[in-house]
Structure 1
Amino acid sequence: MKKHLMTAIAAAAITMSATAGAVDADKAIEYRQGVFNAMKWHFGPMVGMIKGKIDYDAADFERRAKLIAALAQMPQEGFAEGTDAGDTDAKEEIWENKEKFDQGMKMMVEKSAALAEVAKSGDMAKIKPAFGALGKTCKGCHDNFREE
């Protein structure tokens, strides 16, 4: 009797731990979209400053660059297996070519950190190329891995 009870408890524990680690696809999609929307929120005014459509505010630009660098570290978690279906613009290529996608995400983290560092200088001549490099990295992933 004890042996059967222990077997049942062990089986239940294994099942519960496997279920606890499962990702809710809808929540993962909502999470990553939220992170990207927050990044977009900060990019908008930065683009305006870069293009001269908004007065350049070095402190605000630096603050936004730091926030983007922090946010850039977050979305990867939302691209777990099984999150390719649902209300998402993510292409199947993300999961078919995970290594390339992961490299793009790594580049986003690196380029956003570089921009945050350069933004400290307040020197637009240094900021523009770093911002352009980050934008190019974002565009590369969008072109390859996002439905338009």
Structure 2
Amino acid sequence: MKKLLIVGMATAVLMGSTLAAAATDAEKAIEYRQGVFNTIKWNFGPMAGMVKGKIDFDAAEFARRADAVAALATMPGEGFIEGSGVGDTGAKPAIWENKEKFDEGMDALAKNAAALAVAAKSGDMDIIKPAFGQLGKTCKGCHDDFREKD
């Protein structure tokens, strides 16, 4: 699992560096953070389906995805550089106006994703659901404060 995650990240970095050759730093930052968030979403969706009972619960698959989200959750913050709030982004100016609160949200994302990964190892949905719910609340809080509505 770790090998797959490392290969995926390396591929993303290589692709990003090739595409970013002609891009500005702000454009690269936007691309980077959107890629990380999309990868989190890719893994979060099936877990949500399992928690809601729409997908059969597979403890090993859930744990694998939770581990991936925990690793990825430490990454997007560095993509919010000065000047990257304009262009093809849903980032609100509030990110840079209240950077301390935003950074706290990024820290909470990493912390709660790590807690979900630990809970997932139990294989017990009664332990997983509260941790999943807390991570979902963390995501929603930042989306409400710092992300333009789609």
TM tier, smaller: 0.7 to 0.9
Letter in 2 for 1:140: G
Q: Percent of counterpart pairs with the same letter?
A: 71
Q: Is residue 142 from structure 1 mapped to residue 143 from structure 2 by the alignment?
A: yes
1:82, CA displacement in angstroms?
1.0
Residue 108 of structure 1 aligns with which residue? 109
CA–CA distance in structure 2, aligned partners of residues 128 and 57 of structure 1: 14
Q: For 1:1-148, what aligned pairs fall within 5 Å after superposition?
A: 24-148=25-149
**CA deviation map 1:17-61 (0-9, x unaligned):** xxxxxx700010000000000000011110110011100000000
CA–CA distance in structure 1, aligned partners of residues 139 and 85 of structure 2: 19
**CA deviation map 1:62-112 (0-9, x unaligned):** 000000000000000100111111100000000000000000000000000
Structure with bigger gyration radius = 1
CA–CA distance in structure 1, aligned partners of residues 56 and 117 of structure 2: 19
CA–CA distance in structure 2, aligned partners of residues 64 and 48 of structure 1: 12
Q: Which runs of 5+ in 2 are unaligned?
A: 1-23
CA–CA distance in structure 1, aligned partners of residues 81 and 98 of structure 2: 13
CA–CA distance in structure 2, aligned partners of residues 48 and 84 of structure 1: 32
Residue 19 of structure 1 aligns with which residue? none
Aligned length: 126
CA–CA distance in structure 2, aligned partners of residues 109 and 45 of structure 1: 19
Letter in 2 for 1:107: A
Moved over 6 A (4+): none
TM-score of the superposition, structure 2-length normalised? 0.83
Q: Which runs of 5+ in 1 are unaligned?
A: 1-22
